[in-house]
Structure 1
Amino acid sequence: MKILQSALITALMPLLCAAGVAHAAPPARVVGLGGPATEIVYALDAGKSMVGVDSSSIYPPAALKLPKVGYYRAFSVEGVVSLKPDLVLALDHAGPPQALEQLRKLGSKVVVVPSEPTLAALDQRILGVAAALDVPKQGQALVDKLHTELRDIKPSAEGLRVLMVSSHTGRMQAVGENTAGDAMLKLLGATNALAGQRGFKPFSAEAAAALRPDVIVTTSMSIDAVGSVDAFLAQPGLSATPAARDKRIVVMDDLLMLSIGPRLPEALRLLRNGLASRQVAAR
């Protein structure tokens, strides 16, 4: 019976392939448009399929060695096409939209995943990327692992006023609500000093001083832009805060602070330990 079934499948295979029923091969050439999407590919052990990324894909280090196609919100169609991808993974803010449509017309499969800074959206990102890479079991395993680790991280920063700042572009911006940073503060029970404001907001020296944060959280690139932690805290406005006076600052990898990705438990542990410390906490 098994021999007959095998022979039947063998005979029907050409017809199934012609009808598009046969299982397609996993994508071998992938371009990532958005750091969180790229990071998930590597977290799923599919990094060997990556042939190009956008400029926000700064983790893991292997991604930095790949050809760049511009920033994901304004990427180069020509740059992507030149890499001959069979899959383009894009955050839902990638674009402009007509650029994604152009990639589709030119024959690339484009899969868009959500970018919202929530746990639910993170699950969707991981499962969406895993499905596109044809590794759904690995995607579910990663989601389960994340949630197991997150259950062990309890709120521990109640009462702390925290100012999150990003300034690697030379323009200082505070991190408000509806951001990855704000979501992490809420998970740890801390108070965002910019609560009530949405997104990233430029702010003046006077505004920084008025916020009176107990702790400042910033990114590695923001520190690199001015040369040192001391130079960062000496900037107008920041220097007048209780956080700067007590040198209470947490320095995080940019993607850890600015996006919710597969390293979320690591980000929360780093932030939790930094907020609890009375000294500079850096990474």
Structure 2
Amino acid sequence: MRTHVISLRLLSVFLLSFMLTLAACGQSSNSQGSGSTPAAQPTPTPALDAYGTPIAIPKTAPQRIVSLAPSISEILGALHLEKRVVGVDAFTNYPAALAGLKKVSSSSGFNVEAIVALKPDLVLSSGGLSKKYDTQLSQLGLQVVDLPSPNISQTLDQIALIGRLTHTENVAESLVTQMRQQIAQIQSEVKGTPAIKTLLEVDDSTPGKPYVFGGGSFGDEMASYANVANIFHNNTTNGGYPQVTDESVIAANPQYIILTEDPLYGGQPSVVYKRANWGGIEAVKSHHVYHLNSDIMQRPGPRIVQGLRCLAQVVHPDKFSGALPDYCTASV
């Protein structure tokens, strides 16, 4: 059971590597010469879904929304759409108002009958997590939008897009502006600091062969924003989520070790201190092994700013006032 649960969690993380750039709406000038016919305005370039298909924006605001991904649920919550969401996936655990809604999936997959029974006018998914079911749901007459797996900057674009899909553009625009400001502030706090060598571990379900954030991954980009030197930045295998060896970690000798997996599945610093042959690693010797909230470190939603803040403060504590925020180590 433990292996099966871990594989599902890793699936959602690995899908982050398939980054399809969301096309921004085109902007055009509205100038015209004196006495001339107004120039035809170019059609805005539509955003694309996870399959490269243009996304149609509903003409009226959806009133019954089903979320098939926890990151989508968090975005809907941040847009204050709790009362319009009628169903969520099994891994949605935040915000609380959505976590208690009807679950339309389980460890074995999505329940099409349960989704249809909720009579949604919009079904949202991310990164192809529901690929097996998207066509089936569409053929049953439901509007399904499966969004691309985003990196950090694309997450902001995706929040704005969901604002358009749900007709909450102003709320989304305000949220994105606030997040951009927070990210810029964190970057300014760590500017000029040394980029300390750090291991960013995703999962250690296979002893001696942990999965890590590699080059091109969501976590690697977060490390860059936090001025942290990811020791596996140059390893882009497995879509940016390589499975490495203990020997490679020991050879890299990180100064910090950050665990991003749920403590129930191995993300416990106490376990790291007991790993065979890890005692000589600088991070272990100096007791710089930390666990950070899995959801804010692995989930591309509104709380990425919290994850970035936590990572930056753990590695560069002298640049931040006050204690590490509680959300950094929380389980939800």
Q: TM-score band (shorter)?
A: 0.7 to 0.9
The answer (yes or no) to whether the contact 1:37–1:89 under 8 Å persists in 2 is yes
Unaligned runs of 5+ in 2: 1-57
The answer (yes or no) to whether the contact 1:219–1:254 under 8 Å persists in 2 is yes
The answer (yes or no) to whether the contact 1:36–1:261 under 8 Å persists in 2 is yes
Residue 13 of structure 2 corresponds to none
The equivalent position to 2:249 in structure 1, one of 202, 205, 208, is 208
Residue 9 of structure 1 corresponds to none
Residue 265 of structure 2 corresponds to 225
Q: Which has the higher helix share?
A: 1
Matched AA of 1:179: S
1:247 lines up with 2:284 in the alignment: no
Matched AA of 2:217: T
Give me the whole-angstrom Cα distance separating, in 2, the residues matched to 1:63 and 1:237.
44
1:176 lines up with 2:211 in the alignment: no
1:270 lines up with 2:305 in the alignment: no
Give me the whole-angstrom Cα distance separating, in 2, the residues matched to 1:25 and 1:270.
39
Give me the whole-angstrom Cα distance separating, in 2, the residues matched to 1:254 and 1:100.
27
Secondary structure of 1:250's match? strand
How far apart are residue 135 of structure 1 and its match?
A: 0.8
The equivalent position to 1:46 in structure 2, one of 81, 102, 108, is 81
The answer (yes or no) to whether the contact 2:228–2:312 under 8 Å persists in 1 is no
1:160 lines up with 2:201 in the alignment: no
Change (3 A) 1:144 1:38: same
Unaligned runs of 5+ in 1: 1-22
Give me the whole-angstrom Cα distance separating, in 2, the residues matched to 1:77 and 1:256.
29
1:196 lines up with 2:230 in the alignment: no
Secondary structure of 2:216's match? coil
Q: Which has the larger radius of gyration?
A: 1
Residue 105 of structure 2 corresponds to 70
Residue 175 of structure 2 corresponds to 142
Residue 5 of structure 1 corresponds to none
Change (3 A) 1:255 1:151: same
| 1:165-221 deviation per Cα after TM superposition (whole angstroms, max 9, x unaligned) | 122756731111222211111012211110111221222222221221111111261
Q: Could you tell which deviates more after superposition, 172-181 or 63-72?
A: 63-72
Secondary structure of 1:152's match? helix
1:185 lines up with 2:218 in the alignment: no
Secondary structure of 2:105's match? coil
Residue 11 of structure 1 corresponds to none
Secondary structure of 1:201's match? coil
How far apart are residue 29 of structure 1 and its match?
A: 2.0
| 1:10-30 deviation per Cα after TM superposition (whole angstroms, max 9, x unaligned) | xxxxxxxxxxxxx95532221
| 1:83-136 deviation per Cα after TM superposition (whole angstroms, max 9, x unaligned) | 33221111132232x5212111212111232322131x1122101111121111
How far apart are residue 52 of structure 1 and its match?
A: 2.0
Residue 35 of structure 1 corresponds to 70
Change (3 A) 1:56 1:138: same
How far apart are residue 77 of structure 1 and its match?
A: 2.6
Q: Could you tell which deviates more after superposition, 81-90 or 34-43?
A: 81-90
The share of aligned pairs that are identical, in percent, is 25
Question: How many residues are treated as equivalent by the alignment?
Answer: 257
Instruction: Quote the RMSD (CA, aligned, Å).
Output: 2.8
